C-alpha cells in the first residue's frame, strides 16, 4: 500500500473557480505534512506546510484531519499560473524520510 | 548562491554501463536526498544522507550506490544500468530543523 495517495486528476477548472484536492496517508504516526507544487518538467517546490490547526496563505488553504488521515488543499480564485501538479508530502517523526504522493494535476483554463 | 545543482541534465546509457550523477548544494545543508520520479509513481526515495560521511537507504535503493565525502556533494552511482532505471532523478537538500526541501533541476536518464 502506498504511503500517500492522491487523485491524479486532471482537474480542469475555469479561471476564478475554487478547487480542492485531498490526499490520504496510511501511517498514523505521520507527523508533518506539506504541499509541494511541480510545474511541467521542473523540480518540486514547497507551496506550504500543513498545520494541525489548518493554515492559509493568500488564496491557498491547507487543512489536516488526523482522525481520517487526510490533508486537503483549497485554491480560491484560480489563476492560469496555478496550473501545475500538486504533490502531497508526509514525513514521520524522524524527518529523515519524506513520502510523496504521485500528484494531482490542475489545469486552469481562460 | 546557486542552490542545488545537478550534473548532468540529460544522459543516455546502454544497458550495463555505469555512471555517476552529481548533486551539489551551496546552502550548507546537512541533509541530502536522491529521488527518482516515474509517471504515476511520484517521487521515491533512493538514498539519503544526514551529514558528511553518512548515507542510508530509502525506499528503492537496489541498483544504486551513494557517497557523501563532502558536505556539499552527494553522488549517486549506477554500477550496471538497467532499462528499469530510466527515470528523472532529483536531488534535494534541507537544513536541520527546517523541513523544507530544496530540489535540483533534475537529471533525465534513459537506459537503452
- In tens, the pLDDT along A30-61 reads 888 999 999 999 999 999 999 888 899 999 99
Across the interface, whether the CB atoms of B56 and A8 are under 8 A apart is answered no
Give the nearest partner residue to A91 out of B44, B99, B106, using CB atoms: B99
Distance from CA of B25 to the nearest CA of A (A): 15
Calculate what percentage of chain A has a pLDDT beyond 90: 80
CB atoms within 10 A of CB B4: 22
Calculate what percentage of chain A has a pLDDT beyond 70: 97
Chain Cα centroid distance, residue B65 = 10
Report phi then psi at A81, rounded to 5.
Answer: -70, -10
Distance from CA of B56 to the nearest CA of A (A): 10
Chain A residue with Cα closest to B42: A102
Collect all residues of chain B within an 8 Å Cβ-Cβ radius of residue A87.
42-43
Amino acid at each position: 500500500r502506498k504511503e500517500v495517495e492522491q487523485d491524479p486528476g486532471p482537474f480542469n477548472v475555469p479561471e476564478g473557480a475554487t478547487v480542492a484536492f485531498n490526499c490520504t496517508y496510511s501511517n498514523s504516526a505521520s507527523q508533518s505534512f506539506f504541499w509541494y507544487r511541480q510545474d511541467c518538467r521542473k523540480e518540486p517546490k514547497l507551496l506550504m506546510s500543513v498545520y494541525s490547526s489548518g493554515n492559509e496563505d493568500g488564496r491557498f488553504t491547507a487543512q489536516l484531519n488526523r482522525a481520517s488521515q487526510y490533508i486537503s488543499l483549497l485554491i480560491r480564485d484560480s489563476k492560469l499560473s496555478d496550473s501545475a501538479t500538486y504533490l502531497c508530502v508526509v514525513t514521520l517523526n524522524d524527518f529523515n524520510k519524506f513520502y510523496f504522493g504521485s500528484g494531482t494535476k490542475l489545469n486552469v483554463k481562460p | 548562491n546557486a542552490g542545488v545543482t545537478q550534473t548532468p541534465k540529460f544522459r543516455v546509457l546502454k544497458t550495463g554501463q555505469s555512471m555517476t550523477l552529481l548533486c551539489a548544494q551551496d546552502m550548507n545543508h546537512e541533509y541530502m536526498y536522491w529521488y527518482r520520479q516515474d509517471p504515476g509513481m511520484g517521487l521515491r526515495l533512493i538514498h539519503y544522507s544526514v551529514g558528511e560521511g553518512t548515507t542510508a537507504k530509502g525506499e528503492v535503493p537496489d541498483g544504486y550506490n551513494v557517497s557523501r565525502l563532502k558536505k556539499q556533494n552527494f553522488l549517486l552511482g549506477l554500477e550496471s544500468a538497467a532499462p528499469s532505471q530510466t527515470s528523472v532523478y532529483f536531488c534535494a537538500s534541507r537544513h536541520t530543523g527546517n523541513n523544507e526541501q530544496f530540489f535540483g533541476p533534475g537529471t533525465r536518464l534513459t537506459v537503452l
